């Protein structure tokens, strides 16, 4: 007999105080044992005090007047917010009876963090899982996936070769006992981020600046996180949504060629779940800047202090960010300048994960650049953060740009069996709102069925 896993609704992930108080106490204790299945209820941006985990970046580091607020994802179980889409896709599959625990093996096509999330969730829910990912990602990613008990199925390449993982997943899916948590195409990823991340962002700015969001910037991998922008724009229609891409391999801006070092993003496709209607700008960030920027924050907080950053904040940030976070931070600084935002304006962005999976990336940087004395790091700090410029930003609000992005989506998805008619529906906000409204249905269904036999 199989059971539907016992886990939270979308509303409980957004507002953990909706969880029964007795259960909530146990859920807090579960944090001490990451493999306790009650940690499913710790899939939330909120801490014990019901505050969204975030940091307002010091202006001595950003060099701009606008408030740049980073939602901090490393406190999610498994160390990144990607566990949210993994759980949401799995639980929706279970309540729809498409995934039967005990019968089906779960596939997680990924470049790392989603795979870590899938292997972690499957461990808690006692499901077998296979993570399909490129063979050249950071070592720390593979270690975690194996630690959580998933099998690895590696395809050649790096972040920019993610298409090979999709092709491999499609092949594996021919086995009727396999079910894929297809983050690039399934809408629970959209629902999680629009509902949980979007509304958490809206909540976090309540007492900052003018209490609104002028800009949301995020570097898409699956583009799930960008869905938060749809909710932000729903509440603050003036908000600008910005997709950030690696300069060395931009797809949305330039059609996708090249290799890059920003793990988790820049996957050479316009993902199916990316609502390009709401993407107002695309901006490119140089990959080496993101790795160097991470090194400064992690290895040289004293340099930030020299530039006036409060020592406590510099220390707090040491382990808080990963490489893609630095991409998001640089992109936010660029947009603050481009949009000429002032001290009352808020830009929100996201730290998907923390430093724990990038030691090997920084070691590799140290080997490549040889000189990393303070005078070098000081120069990097100024050039990367304070002097971030407004180059390589395009405005995608015009219809010709939207058409170009739709064409990219068709190029990427018709070959996987999606019809032109389905893709055409995505050209209307009605499609996305209709998909978002299903959150209410799944809230009820999860509540009704969790822990029950199927």
Ligand X SMILES: Cc1ncc(COP(=O)(O)O)c(C=O)c1O
Stretch that binds ligand X, among 106-114, 123-131, 371-379, 392-400 (CB under 6 A): 106-114
Helix (H) or strand (E) holding 50: none
In the complex with ligand X, the residue whose CB is nearer, 116 or 446, is 116
Site for ligand X (CB under 6 A): which residue of 165, 324, 332, 349? 324
In the complex with ligand X, the residue whose CB is nearer, 289 or 353, is 353
Of 11-40, which residues contact ligand X (CB under 6 A)?
none
- CA atoms of 123 and 196, how far apart (whole Å): 23
What 3-state DSSP class applies to 53? coil
Cα 293 to the center of its chain, rounded Å: 19
By the 8 A CB rule, do 13 and 43 touch?
Answer: yes
Site for ligand X (CB under 6 A): which residue of 221, 301, 331, 354? 221
CB 222 to ligand X: min, Å: 3
Site for ligand X (CB under 6 A): which residue of 8, 112, 198, 246? 112
Give all strands (DSSP E) within 228-337, no chain letters.
Answer: 240-246, 281-285
In the complex with ligand X, the residue whose CB is nearer, 110 or 123, is 110
Count of C-beta atoms within a 10 Å radius of residue 68 = 27
Q: How many of the chain's residues bind ligand X (CB under 6 A)?
A: 18
Hunting for tokens 């709102």 — which residue is that? Answer: 433
Burial class from Cβ neighbours inside 10 Å (0-12, 13-18, 19+) for residue 203 reads middle
Report the C-alpha dihedral over residues 137, 143, 147, 148, rounded to 10 degrees: -10
- 290 binding ligand X? (CB under 6 A): no
- 264 binding ligand X? (CB under 6 A): yes
CB 230 to ligand X: min, Å: 13
In the numeric block, which tokens belong to residue 81?
């917010």
CB 57 to ligand X: min, Å: 17
Q: HSE on the CB side for 196, CA within 13 Å?
A: 35
- CA atoms of 362 and 359, how far apart (whole Å): 5
In the complex with ligand X, the residue whose CB is nearer, 165 or 222, is 222
Site for ligand X (CB under 6 A): which residue of 225, 279, 283, 346? 225
- 322 binding ligand X? (CB under 6 A): yes
Stretch that binds ligand X, among 47-55, 110-118, 340-348, 420-428 (CB under 6 A): 110-118
Closest residue to ligand X, judged by C-beta, is 264
- 353 binding ligand X? (CB under 6 A): yes
Helix (H) or strand (E) holding 163: helix 162-172
Task: Using alpha carbons, list the distances in angstroms from residue 243 to 195, 229, 335.
Answer: 19, 10, 11
- 224 binding ligand X? (CB under 6 A): yes
Burial class from Cβ neighbours inside 10 Å (0-12, 13-18, 19+) for residue 216 reads buried
CB 72 to ligand X: min, Å: 13
- CA atoms of 347 and 423, how far apart (whole Å): 31
Stretch that binds ligand X, among 101-109, 123-131, 258-266, 428-436 (CB under 6 A): 258-266
- CA atoms of 356 and 190, how far apart (whole Å): 26
In the complex with ligand X, the residue whose CB is nearer, 274 or 445, is 274
* Beta-bridge partners for 346: 67
Site for ligand X (CB under 6 A): which residue of 46, 54, 74, 82? 82
x/- binding map, residues 175-214, to ligand X, per CB under 6 A? Answer: ----------------------------------------
Query: Under the rule (CB under 6 A), what is the footprint of ligand X?
Result: 82, 112-114, 219-225, 263-265, 322, 324, 352-353
């Amino acid at each position: 007999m199989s059971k539907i896993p016992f886990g939270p609704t979308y509303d409980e992930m957004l507002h953990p105080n909706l969880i029964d108080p007795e259960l909530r106490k146990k859920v807090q204790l579960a944090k001490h044992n990451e493999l306790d299945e009650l940690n499913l209820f710790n899939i939330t941006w909120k801490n014990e005090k019901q505050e969204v985990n975030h940091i307002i970046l010091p202006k001595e580091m950003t060099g701009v007047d606008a408030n740049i607020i980073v939602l901090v994802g490393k406190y999610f179980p498994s160390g990144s917010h990607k566990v949210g889409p993994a759980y949401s896709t799995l639980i929706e599959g279970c309540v729809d009876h498409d995934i039967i625990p005990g019968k089906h093996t779960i596939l997680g096509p990924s470049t790392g963090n989603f795979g870590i999330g899938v292997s972690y969730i499957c461990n808690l829910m006692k499901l077998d899982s296979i993570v399909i990912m490129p063979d050249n990602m950071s070592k720390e990613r593979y270690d975690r996936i194996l630690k959580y008990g998933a099998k690895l199925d590696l395809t050649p390449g790096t972040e920019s070769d993610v298409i090979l993982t999709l092709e491999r997943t499609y092949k594996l899916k021919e086995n009727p006992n396999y079910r894929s948590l297809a983050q690039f195409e399934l809408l629970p990823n959209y629902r999680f981020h629009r509902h949980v991340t979007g509304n958490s962002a809206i909540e976090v700015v309540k007492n900052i600046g003018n209490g609104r969001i002028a800009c949301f910037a995020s570097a898409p991998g699956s583009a799930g996180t960008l869905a938060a922008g749809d909710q932000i724009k729903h509440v603050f229609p003036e908000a600008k949504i910005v997709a950030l891409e690696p300069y060395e391999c931009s797809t949305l801006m330039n059609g996708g060629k090249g290799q890059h070092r920003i793990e988790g993003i820049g996957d050479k496709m316009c993902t199916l779940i990316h609502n390009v209607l709401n993407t107002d700008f695309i901006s490119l960030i140089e990959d080496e800047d993101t790795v160097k920027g991470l090194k400064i924050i992690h290895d040289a907080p004293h340099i930030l202090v020299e530039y006036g950053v409060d020592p406590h904040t510099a220390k707090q940030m040491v382990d808080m960010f990963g490489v893609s976070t630095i991409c998001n931070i640089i992109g936010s600084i660029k947009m603050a300048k481009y949009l000429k935002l002032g001290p009352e304006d808020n830009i929100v962005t996201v730290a998907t994960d923390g430093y724990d999976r990038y030691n090997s990336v920084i070691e590799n940087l140290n080997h490549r650049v040889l000189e990393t004395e303070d005078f070098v790091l000081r120069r990097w700090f100024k050039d990367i953060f304070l002097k971030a410029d407004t180059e390589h930003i395009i405005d995608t609000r015009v219809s010709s740009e939207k058409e170009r992005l739709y064409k990219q989506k068709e190029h990427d998805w018709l070959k996987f069996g999606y019809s032109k008619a389905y893709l055409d529906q995505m050209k209307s906000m009605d499609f996305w709102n209709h998909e978002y409204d299903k959150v209410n249905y799944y809230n009820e269904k999860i509540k009704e069925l969790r822990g029950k036999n199927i």
